[in-house]
């Protein structure tokens, strides 16, 4: 039986206006990671859905058997549900959440726009994949996590501190297949990038900007690290996201 959901990490949805926003958290994170931008969209009158990805927000053992296909299927289901009640939908994602958002937009040309916060889109070093596979072959299940990548000492992210290895490997393999899909994204894209990121190199944002075919808007955050949705620039990030969603859904 799955472990209880960690308080504050639940997925949620709130009904607002006819336009909607699907907000997706990242690898080992929870809906709490993206809550400030999601709440700003609710306050702006949008219908907002923030799913909790399978295996996340409970106990790390629940994430061990999950794979990228599970997370992408959950995002697909959340989008289909949201689109039933909204005339236009924008997808907002942080880190792997942006990976999932881009994949969704590539497969649903009706999506009105994408907000990608410190997106992970580039294939990882083959040596990293080999290392993860060696650890799995040796019987390891959970490896070291990315740690707390927040510049604000008072900010807290509800996330697992370890990294389920097979789940991570499934993400790395999915990135190998993502590049040709990015070229199918024709909707407007807002790419928000932290100048200093210790988890996802900022060059991922440059790659995304170069590969999509839709109009691209960029925002550089000077005071935040990887989890920018909770960091010093979270209010700026939320305000620019709201303005973007308003514009592309008008």
Res 140: pLDDT: 95
The domain locations on the chain are 12-249
**Cβ within 8 Å of residue 6, ≥6 positions away:** 30, 57, 58, 158
Which residue shows structure tokens 């994602």? 93
Q: Does the pLDDT of residue 146 top 80, yes or no?
A: no
- List, in sequence order, every residue forming a beta bridge with 116; answer none if it has no partner: 93, 191
**Cβ within 8 Å of residue 36, ≥6 positions away:** 229, 230, 234, 235, 237, 238
Q: How confident is the model at residue 164 (pLDDT cuts 50, 70, 90)?
A: very high
The CA-based dihedral angle spanning residues 66, 68, 69, 75, taken in that order and rounded to the nearest 10 degrees: 100
Cβ atoms < 10 Å from Cβ of 162? 16
Which sequence positions are flagged as catalytic?
A: 95, 197, 226
Q: Does the pLDDT of residue 231 top 60, yes or no?
A: yes
Nearest Cα neighbor of 105 from 218, 243, 248, 250 is 248
Per-residue pLDDT, averaged over 26-36, amounts to 97
Q: How far apart are CA 169 and CA 56, in angstroms?
A: 16
State the pairing for strand pair 19-24/88-94.
parallel
Q: φ and ψ at 12, to 5 degrees?
A: -160, 165
Q: How confident is the model at residue 7 (pLDDT cuts 50, 70, 90)?
A: confident
Per-residue pLDDT, averaged over 67-76, amounts to 98
State the pairing for strand pair 142-144/47-50.
unpaired
Q: Does the pLDDT of residue 144 top 90, yes or no?
A: no
Nearest Cα neighbor of 124 from 146, 157, 105, 139 is 146
According to CATH, the topology of domain 12-249 is Rossmann fold (3.40.50)
């Amino acid at each position: 039986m799955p472990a209880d959901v960690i308080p504050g990490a639940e997925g949620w949805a709130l009904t607002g206006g006819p336009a909607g926003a699907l907000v997706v958290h990242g690898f080992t994170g929870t809906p709490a990671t993206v809550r400030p931008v999601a709440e700003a969209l609710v306050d702006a009158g949008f219908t907002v859905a923030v799913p909790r990805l399978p295996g996340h927000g409970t106990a790390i053992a629940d994430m061990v058997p999950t794979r990228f296909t599970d997370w992408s299927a959950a995002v697909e289901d959340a989008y289909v549900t949201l689109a039933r009640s909204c005339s236009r939908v924008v997808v907002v994602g942080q880190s792997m959440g942006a990976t999932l958002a881009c994949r969704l937009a590539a497969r649903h040309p009706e999506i009105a726009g994408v907000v990608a916060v410190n997106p992970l889109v580039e294939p990882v070093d083959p040596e990293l994949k080999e290392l993860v596979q060696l650890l799995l072959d040796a019987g390891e299940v959970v490896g070291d996590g990315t740690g707390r990548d927040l510049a604000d000492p008072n900010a807290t992210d509800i996330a697992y501190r370890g990294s389920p290895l097979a789940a991570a490997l499934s993400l790395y393999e999915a990135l190998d297949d993502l590049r040709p899909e990015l070229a199918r994204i024709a909707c407007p894209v807002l790419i928000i990038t932290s100048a200093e990121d210790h988890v996802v190199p900022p060059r991922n944002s440059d790659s995304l900007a170069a590969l999509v075919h839709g109009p691209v808007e960029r925002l550089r955050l000077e005071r935040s690290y990887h989890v920018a949705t909770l960091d010093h620039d979270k209010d700026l990030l939320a305000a620019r996201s709201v303005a973007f969603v308003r514009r592309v859904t008008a």
